[in-house]
């Protein structure tokens, strides 16, 4: 049936056209969950060459599609039925919106004749998602489906990527039509190029204390190599956001690590002292800047971004270049005579390097994660993807694992979605079967999408799960300890289920450790396993993430570990 | 001090376009003090918004321009004298 070509004169159902159009776009894998209003599409799926992955919750489908997109650089695709299926996708759509992930979301809808009558499983998903999509379509004519899919892919990908929703009423999906030829409905004008190249070059040449501040946009723009070239030419000290980790080699003395709330002190010092920030694909997020008014107070700003709306949004730019990031970086690169500044930054970097000599015999999570990352590198080289959930363990992953490229670190940055890690790992596994996929989760987060263990089993996927169990919603507990006078409120999870039993119930092998001397052998067993495996690690419930910029404070006011 | 400014947006007349525009404006911290729409050329609305905010309208105009249905945005300066809130 699926010869893939869309020829004028062919008569098919709207749903069959949808599947054809997805095939034409080169989609291989999509994630979803069926139901009433989307049944025509599931019917059309039979015999198609698309691989549909049946998850166990629609949120899992959306987050898996995000993992797929972020690991592969392609558009992720997910689908669900109307009503509860559609609302279950919403968190994933928001995640894709805040992390600028190219995602196509297809929802079934009740027939157009019933829309607006509070029909069974009718919700206005188009309306619900308006603030969290890059664009959305409600397809009212079956002959528009092919062109709409084509358009949706283009929108999801172009400029700053993002999620696009197609809501497809059931009567439109079953109607038999000839499709219109798939031309773009309307081409978007290229973003106005705010070109301050000459001014940017002058600012850079005059700077004595420049710092590169690179964000996740570098990865989306395919500008990682250009950033590396820029860094190699300028040898300017560089700091990275959570989403840019992997863009530069963390062992390079001019790479100061992550900036911001849980970043490296050295990185924050350099930014606070800089006289020039070269901002590449970053957006002055509050987790990175601390109190904005005090961020990089001495610095002029060169802002490079694909999205013109980011320029001047939170911080005025002294020079801005909008558009292709790689070209801008190449055009700007020049050797700099800033040795005294390099020496100061190198000294901060050394002074604040991570330490792993924690006393005691219980598992020290930062050390475990460092070992995990090193062992994975020794075994698999650069072919590793690490996903994580949200909380303390997420920050430890960012601090202590190393990533060969941005797409090797899948973390929910903008939305901070607990439950992201496991489905994202599933998506990454489909996207990069050549890579070893590791998911670092917490005892709180894992329960948010624990049902996807069944998806691992169903598809025989190999995902290695490291579950850091502190019997708590650790990050919230840490804030209550430090900023709410130790008034603990609803953060205790000491009644957690036996996670080893949970995993085994889903037919995923699992082992548990609780002492430091068990870490090495356990990690070896985990990484050597030929199937999925869960390593349950009991850690100290009182451990906190250090250092830390208190909320609302300046990055210059970072606090270090308190004496125990 | 909150300032009042006017924006004229030319918007393709597609499903949800007006909602998307008004939602964006409010979410980005601008209060809609007045609104007038009229058909412009075929399939396009001309929407005139009087906005009040303490925020800089520059980034807002660029946010609006990014909306897929927006054809053009013109700032027509302060619609009336700045108002204090
Ligand atoms: C869906 C969702 N709900 C609530 C939060 C708020 N939150 C952030 S971190 C955190 C605790 C996470 O606990 P766990 O997964 O065990 O990680 P830990 O901090 O203990 O490492 C919570 C509740 C969130 N980010 N996402
Ligand atoms: Mg926990």
SS3 sequence of A496-507: CCCHHHHHHHCC
**Is position A475 annotated as part of the catalytic site?**
yes
A51-54 and B44-53 beta bridge pairing = unpaired
Do A11-178 and A194-351 share a fold?
yes
B31-39 and B44-53 beta bridge pairing = antiparallel
Say what the pLDDT of residue A354 is: 95
Q: Which residue has the tokens 């107070």?
A: A297
- What is the domain-level CATH number for residue B32? 3.30.70.260
Instruction: Average the pLDDT over each of A40-54, A503-517, B26-40, B50-64 and give the range with the smallest value.
Output: B50-64
Task: Compare CB distances from A130 to B12, B19, B63 and report the shortest one's residue.
Answer: B19
Residue A183: Cβ-neighbour burial (10 angstroms; 0-12, 13-18, 19+): exposed
Give the integer Cα–Cα distance in Å for B44 and A116.
25
Q: Break chain A into its structural domains and give their ranges.
A: 11-178, 194-351, 365-550
Q: Which residues of B touch A186 (CB under 8 A)?
A: 12
With a CB cutoff of 8 Å and minimum separation 6, the contacts of A26 are A74
Q: Which residue of B has its CA nearest to A167?
A: B15
Phi/psi at A125 (5° precision): -70, -30
A200 closest CA partner among A125, A303, A294, A337? A303
Asked whether the beta carbons of residue B62 and residue A311 sit closer than 8 angstroms, the reply is yes
pLDDT at B45 over 50: yes
DSSP state of A294: G
Residue A21: Cβ-neighbour burial (10 angstroms; 0-12, 13-18, 19+): buried
Look at the pTM and tell me if it is higher than 0.90: yes
Task: Compare CB distances from A309 to B19, B62, B68 and report the shortest one's residue.
Answer: B62
Atom 26 (ligand 1): residue with closest C-alpha?
A418
CATH code, residues A365-550: 3.40.50.970
CB A465 within 8 A of CB A458: no
Tell me, in angstroms, the distance from the centre of ligand 2 to residue A268's CA.
27
**Is position A484 annotated as part of the catalytic site?**
no
- The length of chain B in residues reads 85
The whole-angstrom distance between A233's CA and the closest CA on chain B is 33
Interface A–B counts its CB contacts (< 8 A) at: 38
Give the integer Cα–Cα distance in Å for A156 and A170.
24
**Is position A170 annotated as part of the catalytic site?**
yes
Say what the pLDDT of residue A182 is: 60
Sheet holding B3-12, edge to edge: B31-39, B44-53, B3-12, B70-75
Q: Can you count the helices (H) and strands (E) in chain A?
A: 21, 20
Give the integer Cα–Cα distance in Å for A199 and A331.
12
B83 within a domain of the structure (yes/no): no
CB A524 within 8 A of CB A466: no
**Is position A483 annotated as part of the catalytic site?**
no
Asked whether the beta carbons of residue B12 and residue A186 sit closer than 8 angstroms, the reply is yes
Considering the candidates A121, A451, A480, A518, report the single residue annotated as catalytic: A121
Q: Which residue has the tokens 């959306």?
A: A62
Ligand 1 pocket test, pick from A445, A469, A541 with the greatest ligand atom count within 8 Å of Cβ, gives: A445
What are the angstrom distances between the C-alpha of B77 and each of A350, B11, B59?
A: 52, 19, 15
Which protein residues touch ligand 1 with a CB less than 6 Å away? A 389-393, 416-419, 442-445, 448, 468, 470, 472-476
B3-12 and B70-75 beta bridge pairing = antiparallel
- Torsion, Cα A259 A263 A264 A267, to 10 degrees, reads 10
Give the integer Cα–Cα distance in Å for A176 and A392.
53
Task: Compare CB distances from B58 to A134, A140, A312 and report the shortest one's residue.
Answer: A312
Give the side-chain half-sphere CA count within 13 A for A464: 20
Tell me, in angstroms, the distance from the centre of ligand 2 to residue A479's CA.
13
Concatenated DSSP letters of A419-484? T-HHHHHHHHHHH-TTSEEEEEEETTGGGGSGGGHHHHHHHT--EEEEEEE-SB-HHHHHHHHHHS
pLDDT band of residue B80 (cuts 50, 70, 90) is very low
Say what the pLDDT of residue A187 is: 52
Number of structural domains (chain B) is: 1
Asked whether the beta carbons of residue A126 and residue B15 sit closer than 8 angstroms, the reply is yes
The rounded mean pLDDT for chain B is 87
CB A44 within 8 A of CB A400: no
Atom 11 (ligand 1): residue with closest C-alpha?
A473
For an interface test with A, give the residue of B10, B13, B15, B18 to mutate (most A CBs within 10 A).
B15
A25 closest CA partner among A198, A184, A160, A139? A184
Tell the CATH topology of A194-351: Rossmann fold (3.40.50)
CB A119 within 8 A of CB A126: no
**Structure tokens of A335?**
């050797």
Give the integer Cα–Cα distance in Å for A517 and A521.
8
For an interface test with B, give the residue of A313, A316, A322, A323 to mutate (most B CBs within 10 A).
A313
Concatenated DSSP letters of B24-70? HHHHTT-EEEEEEEEE-STTEEEEEEEEEESS-HHHHHHHHHHSTTE
DSSP state of A159: S
Asked whether the beta carbons of residue B56 and residue A312 sit closer than 8 angstroms, the reply is yes
Asked whether the beta carbons of residue B15 and residue A309 sit closer than 8 angstroms, the reply is no
Q: Which residue of A has its CA nearest to B23?
A: A131
Ligand 1 pocket test, pick from A415, A420, A449, A475 with the greatest ligand atom count within 8 Å of Cβ, gives: A475
Ligand 1 pocket test, pick from A418, A469, A545 with the greatest ligand atom count within 8 Å of Cβ, gives: A418
Considering the candidates A134, A170, A370, A464, report the single residue annotated as catalytic: A170
Considering the candidates A1, A120, A298, A483, report the single residue annotated as catalytic: A120
Tell me, in angstroms, the distance from the centre of ligand 2 to residue A427's CA.
24
- Torsion, Cα A264 A267 A268 A271, to 10 degrees, reads -170
Give the integer Cα–Cα distance in Å for A564 and A551.
22
Q: Which residues of A touch B58 (CB under 8 A)?
A: 312
Say what the pLDDT of residue A467 is: 98
> Does domain A11-178 bear CATH number 3.40.50.970?
yes
> B67 lies in which domain range?
3-76
CB A30 within 8 A of CB A105: no
- In this structure, the number of other CB atoms found within 10 A of the CB of residue A181 comes to 11
Say what the pLDDT of residue A62 is: 99
The per-residue pLDDT string of chain A (564 residues; one tens digit each, 9 = 90 and over) reads: 444 456 667 899 999 999 999 999 999 999 999 999 999 999 999 999 999 999 999 999 999 999 999 999 999 999 999 999 999 999 999 999 999 999 999 999 999 999 999 999 999 999 999 999 999 999 999 999 999 999 999 999 999 999 999 999 999 999 999 876 666 555 554 555 667 999 999 999 999 999 999 999 999 999 999 999 999 999 999 999 999 999 999 999 999 999 999 999 999 999 999 999 999 999 999 999 999 999 999 999 999 999 989 999 999 999 999 988 999 999 999 999 999 999 999 999 999 999 999 999 999 999 999 999 999 999 999 999 999 999 999 999 999 999 999 999 999 999 999 999 999 999 999 999 999 999 999 999 999 999 999 999 999 999 999 999 999 999 999 999 999 999 999 999 999 999 999 999 999 999 999 999 999 999 999 999 999 999 999 999 999 999 999 999 999 999 988 644
ipTM of the prediction? 0.90
Q: Which residues of A touch B24 (CB under 8 A)?
A: 131
């Amino acid at each position: 049936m699926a010869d893939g070509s869309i020829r004028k004169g062919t008569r098919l159902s709207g749903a069959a056209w949808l599947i054809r159009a997805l095939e034409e776009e080169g989609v291989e894998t999509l994630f979803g969950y069926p139901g009433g209003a989307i049944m025509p599409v599931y019917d059309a799926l039979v015999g198609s060459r698309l691989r549909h992955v049946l998850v166990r919750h629609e949120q899992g489908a959306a987050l898996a599609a995000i993992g797929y997109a972020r690991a592969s650089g392609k558009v992720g695709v997910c689908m669900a039925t109307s009503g509860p299926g559609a609302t279950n996708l919403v968190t994933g759509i928001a995640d894709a919106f805040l992390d600028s992930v190219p995602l196509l979301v297809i929802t079934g809808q009740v027939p157009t004749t019933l829309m607006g009558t509070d029909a069974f499983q009718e919700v206005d998903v188009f309306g619900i998602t308006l603030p969290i999509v890059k664009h959305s379509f409600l397809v009212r004519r079956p002959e528009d489906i092919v062109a709409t899919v084509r358009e949706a892919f283009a929108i999801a990908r172009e400029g700053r990527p993002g999620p696009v929703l197609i809501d497809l009423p059931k009567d439109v999906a079953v109607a038999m039509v000839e499709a219109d030829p798939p031309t773009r409905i309307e081409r978007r004008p290229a973003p106005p190029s705010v070109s301050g190249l000459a001014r940017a070059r002058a600012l850079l040449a005059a700077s004595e204390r420049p710092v590169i501040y690179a964000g996740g946009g570098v990865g989306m723009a395919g500008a990682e190599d250009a950033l590396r070239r820029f860094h190699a030419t300028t040898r300017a000290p560089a700091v990275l956001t959570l989403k840019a980790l992997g863009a530069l080699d963390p062992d390079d003395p001019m790479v100061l690590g992550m900036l911001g709330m849980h970043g490296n002190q050295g990185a924050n010092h350099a930014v606070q002292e800089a006289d020039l920030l070269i901002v590449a694909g970053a957006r002055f997020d509050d987790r990175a800047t601390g109190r904005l008014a005090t961020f990089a107070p001495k610095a002029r700003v060169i802002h490079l971004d694909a999205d013109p709306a980011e320029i001047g949004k939170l911080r005025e730019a002294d020079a801005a270049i909008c558009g292709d990031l790689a070209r801008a970086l190449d055009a700007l690169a020049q050797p700099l005579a800033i040795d005294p500044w390099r020496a100061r930054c190198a000294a901060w970097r050394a002074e604040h390097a991570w330490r792993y000599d924690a006393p005691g015999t219980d598992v020290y999570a930062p050390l475990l994660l460092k070992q995990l990352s090193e062992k994975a590198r020794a075994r698999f080289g650069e072919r590793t993807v690490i996903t994580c959930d949200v909380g303390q363990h997420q920050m430890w992953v960012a601090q202590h694992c190393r990533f060969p490229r941005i797409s090797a670190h899948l973390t929910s940055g903008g939305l901070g979605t607990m439950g992201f890690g496991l489905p994202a790992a599933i998506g990454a596994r489909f996207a990069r079967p050549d890579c070893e996929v590791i998911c670092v989760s917490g005892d709180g987060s894992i329960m948010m999408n624990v049902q996807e263990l069944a998806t691992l089993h169903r598809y025989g996927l190999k995902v290695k799960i490291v579950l850091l169990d502190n019997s708590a919603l650790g990050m919230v507990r840490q804030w209550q300890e430090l900023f709410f006078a130790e008034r603990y409120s609803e953060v205790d999870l000491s009644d957690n289920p036996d996670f080893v039993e949970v995993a085994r119930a889903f037919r995923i092998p699992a082992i548990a450790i609780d002492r430091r001397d068990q870490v090495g052998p356990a990690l070896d067993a985990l990484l050597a396993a030929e199937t999925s495996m869960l390593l349950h690690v009991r850690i100290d419930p009182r451990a906190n993430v250090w250092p830390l910029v208190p909320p609302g404070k300046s990055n210059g006011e970072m606090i270090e570990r308190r004496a125990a | 001090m909150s300032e009042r400014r006017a924006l004229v947006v030319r918007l393709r007349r597609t499903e949800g376009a007006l909602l998307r525009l008004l939602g964006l404006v409010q979410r980005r911290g601008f209060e809609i003090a007045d609104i007038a729409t009229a058909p412009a050329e075929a399939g396009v609305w001309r929407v005139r918004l009087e906005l009040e905010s303490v925020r800089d309208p520059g980034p807002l105009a660029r946010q609006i321009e990014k909306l897929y249905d927006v054809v053009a945005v013109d700032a027509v300066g302060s619609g009336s004298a700045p108002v204090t809130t």
